[in-house]
Amino acid sequence: MHGYNLAEANQKISDFINLCHSNGVIKINIITGKGMRSKNLDDPYRSTDLSILKYSVPEFIKNNTELMKKVNKIDFESVNSPSKGNFNIYLKSIK
């Protein structure tokens, strides 16, 4: 997700989850980076509340009811780890 602003990242992740789900993918690894060089104060489209994509992308997914119909689990342990710049999303299988 490196290089995307918040709106772009949310759209990309939404498209990616939908694509993966329709193709029967069960596990997605999302690499956001740790945001060590984030310039979110210089970009009005990046969230200063959620700070970096590492936190805002999983929150976007969790709060999107259409995406959550396709998601079994978001690995928030990895999201909340200061040493990780990635997290897994586990998708439901197509019935």
Residue 46 has what pLDDT?
A: 45
Q: How far apart are CA 12 and CA 1, in angstroms?
A: 8
Question: Taking a C-beta distance cutoff of 8 angstroms, is the pair 72, 62 a contact?
Answer: no
Q: CA gyration radius for the chain?
A: 13
pLDDT at 36: 53
The pLDDT value given to residue 42: 52
User: Distance from CA of residue 84 to its chain's centroid?
Assistant: 13
Low-confidence ranges of the chain (pLDDT < 50): 38, 40-41, 44-50
Would the pTM count as exceeding 0.75?
A: yes
Report d(CA 93, CA 74) in Å as an integer. 15
CB atoms under 10 Å from CB of 40, counted, come to 19
Q: 29 forms bridges with which residues in the sheet?
A: 88
**pLDDT for res 25:** 96
**Residue 72, pLDDT score:** 97
